[in-house]
Amino acid sequence: MIVLKTGRELKIMREACRISAGALQTAGMAVEPGVTTAEINKLAEDYIRSQGGEPNFLNYEGYPATACISINNEVIHGIPSKQRKLKAGDIVSIDLGAKFEGYHGDNAATFACGDISDEAKRLMDTTKESLYEGIAAAVSGGRIGDIGNAVQRYVEARGYSVVRQFVGHGVGTHLHEAPEVPNFGTAGRGIRLLPGMTLAIEPMVNAGLPDVKVMPDGWTVKTKDGSLSAHFEHTVVITSDGPKIMTLL
């Protein structure tokens, strides 16, 4: 069931999204050579709690951390570790969210660790821009397929591929709600977009083929061909005046 949020609900949810955005910014600023992914995870958790929120990824379906931290050919759901140190040239995708008074925020971004290759920068730039293409298509009266089609066209025109096994989603009193928001599709198809819908739009883009595999830890998702991957995400509300990004500081 798709839940249209009231003005009161959106006010609370905006606070959850503000905390989520601040935590992501805090985590991203810590991305430097020699830093462990566990250290970044702790910074994110401490920030969320300092703002009166709760880390909504922590213990979600058994996930053991506040943030998913995925490096280079890892697409999503990388588990932070004290043993894993970042290296110059890495690209680091951080996905996290906060719960506040029963409502959730969710966001992600990919960060450069030191100097990165031109190839990696182009992939990151393309993925970030594809997110904004998707958001621009999220207009009241449109369809879910408009969002995915906008992302897919932008990405594939630049020689990259969108991951198909994992998609965006509704978000609200649950971290994952209906509807699913694929990063591919046909414009004019799918569920109608209505004011009050809150969506986590999150392109996951591979430099190579779209195929991915889940690692033995049951969480970490990597590209099958070993190519680089990037990930950007915002929580967005559909309004009669166009889409509004909630996970902005």
pLDDT digits (tens, 9 = 90+) for 175-222: 999 999 999 999 999 999 999 999 999 999 999 999 999 999 999 999
Structural domain of 56: 7-245
Which CATH number does the domain housing residue 218 bear?
A: 3.90.230.10
Percent of the chain scoring above 70 in pLDDT: 100
Domain assignment of residue 13, yes or no? yes
Q: Would you state the structure tokens that stand for residue 160, as one six-digit string?
A: 């990259």
Q: What is the DSSP string of 203-237?
A: -EEESS-S-EEE-TTSS-EEETT---EEE-BEEEE
Phi, psi of 201 (to 5 degrees): -95, 125
Q: Average pLDDT for residues 123-128, to the nearest whole number? A: 98
Percent of the chain scoring above 90 in pLDDT: 100
Domain assignment of residue 83, yes or no? yes
Domain assignment of residue 2, yes or no? no
Over residues 64-101, the pLDDT tens digits come to 999 999 999 999 999 999 999 999 999 999 999 999 99
Hunting for tokens 């397929």 — which residue is that?
Answer: 145
Q: What is the pLDDT of residue 228?
A: 98
Q: Which residues contact 216 (CB under 8 A, 6 or more apart)?
A: none
Give the pLDDT band (50/70/90) at residue 38: very high
Domain assignment of residue 28, yes or no? yes
Over residues 99-122, the pLDDT tens digits come to 999 999 999 999 999 999 999 999
Cα–Cα distances in angstroms (integers) from residue 239 to residues 5, 57, 68, 195, in the given order: 11, 27, 30, 4
**Total domains, the chain:** 1
Q: What is the pLDDT of residue 164?
A: 98
**Average pLDDT value for the chain:** 98
Q: What spatial distance separates the first Cα and last Cα of the chain, rounded to whole Å?
A: 30
Helices (H), the chain: 7-29, 37-50, 118-136, 144-157
Q: Which of 74, 88, 72 is nearest to 35 (CA)?
A: 88
Q: Which of 199, 197, 132, 206 is nearest to 164 (CA)?
A: 206
Domain assignment of residue 1, yes or no? no
Q: What is the pLDDT of residue 197?
A: 98
| Sign of the four-CA dihedral 27, 118, 232, 161 | negative
